Structure 1
Amino acid sequence: MSAAAFSTWWVRLGQLAGLAALGLLGLFDLRFGLFTGMSPTFALLLVVRTGLAVATVPVWLPVHRQGSRALPVAALLLGTASLAVTFGITVLSSGRGLLVGGSWGLAESAGLLAVVFVVTRRGAARLAPWAAAVTALAAAAMPLRAGTDNVLVIFGLLQALAAVGAAAVGIYLRVVAAGRERAIALVRAEQRAEFARDLHDFIAHHVTGIVVQAQGARFVAEQDPQRVIVALEQIERAGAETMASMRRMVGVLRNPDAPLAPLAGVADLAPLVQGHNGTATVPARLHVDGPLDGLPVEVSTSAYRVVMEGLTNTRQHAPDARSVHVAVRRTPDWLLVRVADDGTSGRTAPARGHGFGLIGLTERVRALGGTITAGPGVAGGWVLDAALPLHPAVAR
């Protein structure tokens, strides 16, 4: 099971647990929250109270998008309605002793606390504080429906503290998520800038070759026209390859001030593996199937980075692994890269912690039109697989 699917299952289990808890509290309210000698007005307020408890479910249960405007608006409406019901019950029951049970609406209280958490976690930044404040005030005031005794006032304070705690957790998770998104955006920008540097070197190499071939063709045109045709064919191939690479990397951010570095590609895999074996306790073996010459430069460099990321993750997250198998296979249309270890450390995500290395690598591979996956192997261990297209038509 992938990390995303694993996380989704936890969310679904949490939602089911919340619904079950709300249902039990609703049964408690029905059993111990009844009025004696209720007038039609009291009966209406009780129905509205029950309806409010149910109305909180579609607000806190779904997974809302970040910055939702509808979420704080719904929370404001719920909080305002709850305060109105509290005011109505308090006024009508003042001095009459009409409430014989001890429940003021525990299901509604729990639902409002969940709304406070969700609205601070996902609501639009401008509206979320106001919506959370009104909803928290509604939850704190609910015990007053049962009277104004000291015990009920204390319960109101406890619900206010619970609302503050829910808001604090929601804000904390919001800040953590925002920080992670900024870090991911930075990694992607750096990866795109690195891609642009590779493109710069690649174009410089091929354009220089085209210029040299064109100059040579001009000098031999009168002496050997056949050689001119050969030179033109070479120029055509180099130009087509350059244009294909540029089309694949449309949208790549370019930092003109970034320093240029030498390109590392599949030809450097053997030294990379040897360097890994010289510094790590987990030996790696390289297996190559098919010729690796003539690869598009962006495919070659991306394959190198896939292997580098796989070896890095094995060294960091699989200290108990006994071996790492690096396989590179070329087919007519694809370059397939696999890094597999036999570690049993129980990794549950592509990389522990933030996993920004894999995020940047995924950005790079997808820019080429390829695919990349990471997860537990069928026979155990961890497997990083990447498929890189060799032709633009394959990537589409």
Structure 2
Amino acid sequence: MLTRPNLIRRGAQLATLLVMAMLGLIDLATGVSAGGVPLAFALLIGALSTAAVWLPPHRQGSARLPRAAMLLAAFSLLLTIGIGGASGGVGSSFGLAESVGLLAVMFVVCRRGDSRWAVGAVLLLGMAIGFMPLRSGTGADYVIAGLALGLVATAVIALAVYLRIIESTRVRAMDSVRAEQRAEFARDLHDFIAHHVTGIVVQAQGARFIAEQDPKRVLLALEQIEAAGAETMASMRRMVGVLRDPNARPDAPLAPLAGVDELGPLLEQFSNAGEVLARLHVDGSTAGLPVEVSTSAYRVVMEALTNIRRHAKDARVADVWVRRTADWLLVRVANDGAAPRAAMPREAPGYGLVGLTERVRAVGGRITAGPGIDGGWVVDAALPLDQEVTR
């Protein structure tokens, strides 16, 4: 599915191609009348070669893109020298389609190209664009046309750099949110493991002292130690990709981890703090949920309720559904407010949900957010109870 930025990009590309096509017809007619078929063919090749560079998608920081642009600019300059040296030049049309194509190449280079190569490419492209009117002659009109193209090229550079800065800022903000969420998840896991390991040590110490007096109690302690150890190892295997915060203090006090069982108090506090009534619907037992699944479900509900408070000013009811199946824990949060005027993307609609998406995916789950069928906003999350079901 095409997103709004992709639709805008496709529309701009189509518009540029149409403009180049119309100007290309003028170039062909002028080239044939001024220098015959070879000259018209050269102008056509120059225009098509620009489209071959700016039209395909390019990854951010591409080094191949500015290199190709430099070769293209060098070819255009050689073409300018060759045509300008010929008697009569090309008349009034000096390669209008090619000039538009070079401007498009300059935009893409400034927007996506590797900065180490982009500067040189932009300089060569600027020379190629500014000197292009000299193919028709060295009169004052053509010099002015070259200066005008130079001003247009400057505006194109400014627009591309502005969009690049905006995207770079957005990417850094999203990366920061993801890193914070993963670090928070790692701290939760650290507290959980530390809690269980402490319990294992305490039970092992107690079993050592009662081994001779009451062997049955030793067996019970060993069973509890085995269960706690198995649960801890399972959580560690599931969270192997989560990175720890290197600045976290190992002696930080243990705090109880909020999970599905704490949703009731959370919704009660939410209802008491405003005019929105929060209702909890639980289908199935919540006992024995993996800790990372339980805490992630709690964070999904908490973030969704926060967004309701911020963005759904006219909402009156927020419903929270928690359903447990054989393999999944399903969470849905919906409100009865009006849907936002501009629908946000289904994936990660805001920085808060960007971090939440990272947390859910860390446990092998999925999350979506979007307008509900009957209005309002709906957040759906599916968290696997056994990560094997996601593979």
TM-score, with length taken from structure 1: 0.90
Greater CA deviation, 219-228 or 315-324?
A: 219-228
Gaps of 5+ in 2: none
Q: 1:78-157 maps to which residues of 2 (within 5 A)?
A: 78-93=72-87, 97=88, 99-100=90-91, 102-157=92-147
Structure 1 segments, 4+ long, off by >6 Å, are 351-354
Give the % identical residues: 60
Corresponding residue of 1:380: 375
How far did 1:178 drift?
1.7
* 8 Å CA contact retained: 2:277, 2:317: yes
Residues 3-28 of structure 1: per-residue CA shift (max 9 Å, x gap): x6343333323322222222122122
Corresponding residue of 1:277: 271
Q: 1:286-365 maps to which residues of 2 (within 5 A)?
A: 286-342=280-336, 343-350=338-345, 355-365=350-360
Going from structure 1 to structure 2, the CA distance change for 1:256 and 1:30 (only over 3 Å counts) comes to: closer
Residues 225-267 of structure 1: per-residue CA shift (max 9 Å, x gap): 4443333222212111101111122232222533655522222
Going from structure 1 to structure 2, the CA distance change for 1:256 and 1:362 (only over 3 Å counts) comes to: same
- SS of the aligned residue for 2:86 comes to helix
How far did 1:394 drift?
3.0
Counterpart CA distance in 1 for 2:89 and 2:3 is 51
TM-score, with length taken from structure 2: 0.91
Greater CA deviation, 269-278 or 71-80?
A: 269-278
Q: Which amino acid aligns with 2:344?
A: A
Residue 214 (str. 1) matches residue 204 (str. 2) = yes
Corresponding residue of 1:230: 220
Residue 175 (str. 1) matches residue 165 (str. 2) = yes
- SS of the aligned residue for 2:305 comes to helix
Q: Which amino acid aligns with 2:300?
A: V
- SS of the aligned residue for 1:127 comes to helix
Residue 251 (str. 1) matches residue 241 (str. 2) = yes
Kindly tell me the number of residue pairs found equivalent between the two proteins: 386
- SS of the aligned residue for 2:6 comes to helix
Going from structure 1 to structure 2, the CA distance change for 1:148 and 1:322 (only over 3 Å counts) comes to: farther
Counterpart CA distance in 1 for 2:326 and 2:347 is 35
Pairwise CA RMSD: 2.3
Greater CA deviation, 264-273 or 344-353?
A: 344-353
Counterpart CA distance in 2 for 1:368 and 1:353 is 16
- SS of the aligned residue for 2:141 comes to helix
